[in-house]
Chains A and B, each alone.
Chain A
């Protein structure tokens, strides 16, 4: 394996303790030392998700995610998962609309092996048709387990972006997929320019940088494939079985990459509404049985750079129509748009978000994933600008006026409607 040449000092940055680097082939590397816990978290993030599924192969990105965990064979009995678990670690992966992230947590002394195995599964990807067939059926079982509330997000998303498809896939289409197709997808999308590797924990950044350069230098240097970013264009109201009768509204959020401050203002607004304004409305307004709003995939904001949404869930009292509860929601939003929150209310809202921020930042795995997304999906002016360590400060810069502006923007935005049907 050859050792690639680094592009030069301009591509390596130290922000605080965090090393942000790019290999000669374009692969992004972030290392954040966090000594003392005896653990490392490694995230391999690839800019290939459900939005990259080829026509007629809905779920190909998800299938390739499964296939990136090569099984044991006679020659290599452990397989990838067995090796990680044998080193005392655990690993998993998630396929999102615009990216896939593979995350591993392990004792720190396992890091050399973890890096080597990450490179091996990336470079030696070679599924066979038998594995493709069984993993397709496993995905079918996964989909069966995600009925009802597990499909709420995707259904609501499609109400604002008609034609968008979830990242799980369709078993009927995947049953026609071949190992050759999976290999072609992996080669096209799992390129160095589309990949970020992140290490957080008991690790020496200089050693990691050197080792990653050795191991990942042969990853093909092609850039990430752009994803179609659909504009918000609500279709007719859809419906989904759900545990309680109600309505889900999907509203567009600002681009988290290009308008990060406005995006975070929407996050603050959602927290403010859910903590205080909406509970008050539920107590006083007969058109609402319950109400809350979350930003991002099931409340994980900054989890995707694909057009992101705020999801409003309104519980319907008996005899109240959907349009009436939506009007009640808009009344609450109108109040927030008309005047900025008081400094006290704003401070309380930020406090709540900061507690969550610190709790998230306390998890090595969450930090590794957040670094990977920041490097790949939300690059700032300098490497590391939008890493998890910067988030608390960025939230604190959101002003009451910004929150009010976010409410005005949501009021003017188109929204999708999904009926929640309690069977």
Chain B
């Protein structure tokens, strides 16, 4: 559904998108701040700031913030991804202006009280899923901050925290999306009033590109004694969503392992009962793009999972999908572009993500049209180009009763 929206950039560099969405008595706000970890020395301050942002200002302590949000009928949450800090607010409509005032207070006049005296204990060694993901990214794309194990936590002083706030939590480079029943121009005025005095940036906290655009193929196998599941994780070539060939690749990915009627599900789940769920997804961030298959099976089945997945890739790469499969994928993709935005909360998050990537908030509607125009031959060509197993890294983690060593150092490349 296309909605009325307006876009503006405040004098401080904050990009603001106001979307008009009448109906539910709610306003949804999404503030997207670049927040990639580019310097390991900042890891501890980055983590602590994300946990404490929004809990206090110079004029409000934690309880006063909680009381104010409750008075407004607001729910405030913070999520950190590998490249962004996302501050989300759902608020009863009449609380919109009060929420913007509160947001401005927390961003412009932060206060970090009662900081822990000592750094948190070192985290446990990575579990098999995390270890496997790091192996996949390192093997596929070379050393990169995304694939690095975090440094041990260190002490963070209040000065460190305020300095990192001034560096990272800044308007220039950030995006605020407001979705509400209010008239967009009024929303822009309110945002300018309360967030106009916010200053700083851009921070430059964006992920560097991978060393390689396409993943290096291979077959790393982690041994993890005592693992209660065998894991498969892959990295295959892909193109970003702004690439003209992305729509055909998207349909190839859906035929491979998107919906529940995909080739992977039919082979691994329905025919062989090797896994409850198996998925293929297109991953994309500022570092690069790749096609990922993920599934878990019973201990001892890692090689079987990898072999079956490789064979499904091979068959599709060689023969392509049937016309019926391509058509089903197209219809599924067209439907998905609607029900991915089925609630205002989902829609606000998605549109904020588009705006942060620099694409239009109507991008999805245009993309749906592009998907509608992809032919069976183009999907077949995309399968042949992107799904070849010899271009794909297939990595596994599994129990190994004959080996009591941990995962570190047990990476090896099987044929």
Number of A-B contacts (CB under 8 A): 141
Of the candidates B271, B272, B339, B343, the one having the most CB atoms from chain A within 10 angstroms of its own CB is B339
Tell me, rounded to whole Å, the shortest Cβ–Cβ distance linking A273 to chain B. 14
Specify which chain B residues have a CB less than 8 angstroms from the CB of A364 in the assembled complex.
342
Tell yes or no: B297 within 8 A of A by CB: yes
CB contact under 8 A between A38 and B296, given known A86-B331, A359-B343: no
Tell yes or no: A354 within 8 A of B by CB: yes
- How does the 8 Å CB contact mask read for B311-330 relative to A, with 1 for contact and 0 for none? 00000000000001001100
Question: Are the C-beta atoms of A106 and B335 separated by less than 8 Å?
Answer: yes
CA distance A319 to B328 in the complex (A): 59
Tell yes or no: A162 within 8 A of B by CB: no
CA distance A135 to B229 in the complex (A): 18
Tell me, rounded to whole Å, the shortest Cβ–Cβ distance linking A33 to chain B. 14
Question: Are the C-beta atoms of B25 and A358 separated by less than 8 Å?
Answer: yes
Q: Which residues in window 315-361 of B have CB below 8 A to A?
A: 324, 327-328, 331-332, 334-336, 338-339, 342-345
Which of B23, B66, B261 is A85 in contact with, Cβ under 8 Å?
B261
CA distance A39 to B347 in the complex (A): 14
Tell yes or no: A393 within 8 A of B by CB: no
Tell yes or no: A15 within 8 A of B by CB: no
CB contact under 8 A between A355 and B296, given known A79-B261, A141-B274: no
Specify which chain A residues have a CB less than 8 angstroms from the CB of B75 in the assembled complex.
352, 355-356
Question: Are the C-beta atoms of A349 and B338 separated by less than 8 Å?
Answer: no
Which of B66, B260, B344 is A362 in contact with, Cβ under 8 Å?
B344
Q: Which residues in window 246-273 of B have CB below 8 A to A?
A: 259-261, 266, 269-273
Main secondary structure, interface of B, reads mixed
Question: Are the C-beta atoms of A348 and B70 separated by less than 8 Å?
Answer: yes
Which of B24, B66, B270, B277 is A361 in contact with, Cβ under 8 Å?
B24
Which of B72, B270, B328, B344 is A134 in contact with, Cβ under 8 Å?
B270
Tell yes or no: A89 within 8 A of B by CB: yes
Tell yes or no: A390 within 8 A of B by CB: no
Question: Are the C-beta atoms of A107 and B73 separated by less than 8 Å?
Answer: no
CB contact under 8 A between A348 and B71, given known A141-B273, A358-B24: yes
Which of A39, A88, A141, A358 is B342 in contact with, Cβ under 8 Å?
A39
Tell yes or no: B57 within 8 A of A by CB: no
Specify which chain B residues have a CB less than 8 angstroms from the CB of A82 in the assembled complex.
261, 328
Tell yes or no: A323 within 8 A of B by CB: no
CA distance A39 to B339 in the complex (A): 7
18 CB-based A-B contacts, threshold 8 Å: A39-B339, A77-B324, A81-B259, A82-B261, A85-B261, A90-B332, A105-B339, A106-B335, A134-B270, A134-B272, A141-B274, A144-B228, A144-B296, A348-B71, A351-B70, A354-B73, A355-B75, A362-B26
Pairs of residues from A and B, 8 with the lowest C-beta to C-beta distance, nearest first:
A88-B335, A348-B70, A137-B273, A351-B73, A82-B261, A86-B328, A141-B276, A142-B276
> Given known contacts A88-B336, A141-B274, what 10 new A-B pairs fall within 8 Å (CB)?
A36-B1, A71-B270, A79-B261, A86-B328, A87-B331, A90-B259, A107-B334, A110-B335, A138-B275, A361-B24
